[in-house]
Chains A and B, each alone.
Chain A
C-alpha cells in the first residue's frame, strides 16, 4: 500500500480489519540519535485523563482518545503542537514498531483505539512503515487486532511470525534471544503497555512489557522479576530502539493481574506518557497503590509483591531512569 495515496480509512482497514478493526520513557529521543543515557535533571511523566474518552458503555470514542493522546504528547515534550512532539520521536523513513500488550485479551489489552490514534499521528510525522507487534499472533487476535504479516504500510504480527535471533543478548542475569521484529524490522519502538497489577511482579507497565520482546520470559519471574526486568531492559537491542512509552490506562486493573479480572478493573480514562520507563512505572505503581487503598486492599509490599525491580532499574548498574520522586516531574492534565 502506498501510504501517500492511502486515506486514513483504508490505511487502518488494511491492518486492523473491517468489522473488527475492532482493533507504553525512553531513553533519549531526538529522532535518529536515541541516547542511552537518561536526561539530566528531572524525568517528566504526563498523566492525561478525560472521562469523555468513554462512551456510555464499555467502548471508547476514538476521536476523544486521539485528542487525549495529543494533549499528553504535547505536554510531555512541552511543545506547541502534537506534530512537533512526534517529529522529535521519530524521523521520516524509519520503520516504527508499536509494542502493544495483549496478554489480558479484550478486557485489558492496549486498546486498538489508542493504536489507531498513534498510527495516524505517525503518518502525519512522515512515517510510512509501522509494525504493531506482540508476543504471539494469538495474543493480538484476542485483543481485536488483525494479523497482517506482509505488505507495506501497516503490518501487525506476533513474534511467532519472524521468530528470534539465534544469538543471545546478555546483561546481568538475563540471557535471551531478541525477537527479529525488534532487531531486524524496526528502527524505533514505541512501547504501549497497560496500567495493571501483576500477581508476581507487583505491577506491569513499561519495563515489564519488554518481556514480550524475548524468547524466554518464563525464566524471569523469580523473585518478583527482580533483577530480570531491569536486566532485560538493558539488552542492547531493546535499549537502543525504545523511544517512548505510552501507558494505556483507559481501563486499569489494581488486583488479579496480569489476567483480565473485571471485578478489579476501574475506568482510569487516562494515559501515562514518559520517555523514562522507570519514572513511568514508579508513577503508575503509586496510582495502583492509591486505588488499592481506596478499595480497602493491602499495599503490594505487605503482600510481598512490591515491584522492587523498578528501583533496580534505576540503580548504578542499570541507570534506566529514576524512581526518586524528587526527580520525577509529575504533570497531570
Chain B
C-alpha cells in the first residue's frame, strides 16, 4: 500500500462491502475491485514459494496442487500467480490484495461457525481451476498484474480487521490455495491478535500444504462443484477425486469444515448425483458436516443457462435429508426455510436465519437449548 494510508485503504475497502451487503443476496458478489492503487513496487509482493521442487535445467515442479505443473524458467503455473525465475519458484501475490470487504460469515457461507460474526474478507488474483460458472472470474482468472492491487502485509491485515471489529479474517472470492503463503502468514498474525481465520476454497490442493493450512486456520469451506468426474473435467478443468481426498484429509485434521454444492441446471442436478454425493458424505465424513445446496446464477462462460429452479434445490435437500445427513441447507434463496438450522433430534429451529441476518441462536454451550443435543460447530 504504497500510496494509501490505512484510513484511505479502509475507506476504499469498506465501501463496496456495504454496497454488496445491502444488495440482493442471491448472486450478490463483491465489486471486483476497490479503488486501489497499482503498486509501484512489485518486489514487495514476491516471495519464494513453498511447496515445489527444483528440476534440472532450471525447471521446477509445483507441489501445491494436484496439477503438479512443471514450469520452465520465466513461465507460470496454471494459476498464473506463481512464477519460475531462474529455477526458483515465487509467489507473486503475497500481501497483494485485489479486493477486501466486511461480510457476514453467513455469506461465505459458514452456518456452524460463529453465527452473526463479521469477517474481514479478502482475495488476491488467481485460481488453480477454471470453472465456467465462476462468479468472480474478473479476479480469479487473471494474472496479478492485470488487476489493481494493494500491499497489505499480515500484521497490517490483522490490525485492520481488529480495528473494524471483525473477529474473523476470511480468505475468499478467488482461490486461497494459490496464495497459501499469504494465508499461512496472515493466519499466524491473526492468531497473535486474537482473531480467527477461515478459508473458502475449491479444495484443489495436495495433502501436505493442506495439513499446514488446516493447522493454521479455524475453518474451511469447500466448494464441491459436482459429484462427477465428467463435470470436473468439462466444467471445472480439474478432477473430482482430488477434492474428495481433500475432504477426507480435512476430516482427519479436525478443522471445522462445511461443504457447498452449487447446483447448475442440466449439468450437475440429477437425483443420482445428489444421492451419490449424500451417501459419500455420510460414509466418508459423517452425517454432521453441513451441506449447502446453492443456487446458480448465469455467469462467465455459462450465461446460457437459467438460474437454478428452487424446486431443484429442494429436491437435492430432500434426497440428502433422506440419506441421513443432519444439516442440509439451501443457499442463495433469501427467506427460504432451509436457510435456518434445525436440531436433528427435536427438529426445533436453533439458528433462525433470513438471508445473512440472524434472528436468533438457540444453542447453548454447543447444545440445542431445547433438547440438549450436541450441535457440531464453532459457536463461541
**A interface with B by C-beta (< 8 Å):** 103, 105, 136, 160, 163-164, 168, 170, 175, 199-200, 215-216, 218-219, 221-222, 256-259, 261
Contacts and interface: CB of A to CB of B under 8 A. Distances in A.
A218 B77 contact: yes
Nearest to A163: B146
The A contact surface, by secondary structure, is loop
A261 B56 CA distance: 12
Nearest to A164: B146
B74 interface: yes
B76 A218 contact: yes
A175 B145 CA distance: 19
Nearest to B126: A218
B293 to A, nearest CB: 26
A218 B301 contact: no
B76 A259 contact: no
Given A215-B142, A222-B237, 17 more contacts: A103-B74, A103-B75, A160-B145, A164-B146, A168-B301, A175-B301, A199-B59, A199-B70, A215-B143, A216-B80, A216-B130, A216-B141, A218-B77, A218-B143, A219-B130, A256-B57, A259-B73
Contacts of B76: 218
Interface in B129-180: 130, 132, 141-143, 145-146
19 contacts: A103-B75, A105-B74, A160-B145, A170-B301, A199-B59, A199-B72, A200-B70, A215-B142, A215-B143, A216-B80, A216-B130, A218-B76, A218-B79, A219-B130, A219-B237, A257-B72, A258-B75, A259-B58, A259-B75
Contacts, number: 50
Nearest to A219: B130
Range class of the B interface residue count: 20 to 34
Interface of B: 57-59, 70, 72-80, 130, 132, 141-143, 145-146, 237, 300-301
A215 B130 CA distance: 13
B226 to A, nearest CB: 18
A268 B359 CA distance: 75
Contacts of A222: 78, 237
A213 to B, nearest CB: 14
B57 A261 contact: yes
Given A215-B146, A259-B72, A221 B78 contact: yes
A201 B132 CA distance: 23
A263 to B, nearest CB: 9
Nearest to A160: B145
B89 to A, nearest CB: 14
A218 B78 contact: yes
Contacts of B130: 216, 219
B150 to A, nearest CB: 18
> A170, A218, A222 — which one has the most chain B CB atoms within 10 A of its CB?
A218
Contacts of B142: 215-216
A176 to B, nearest CB: 9
A136 B73 CA distance: 15
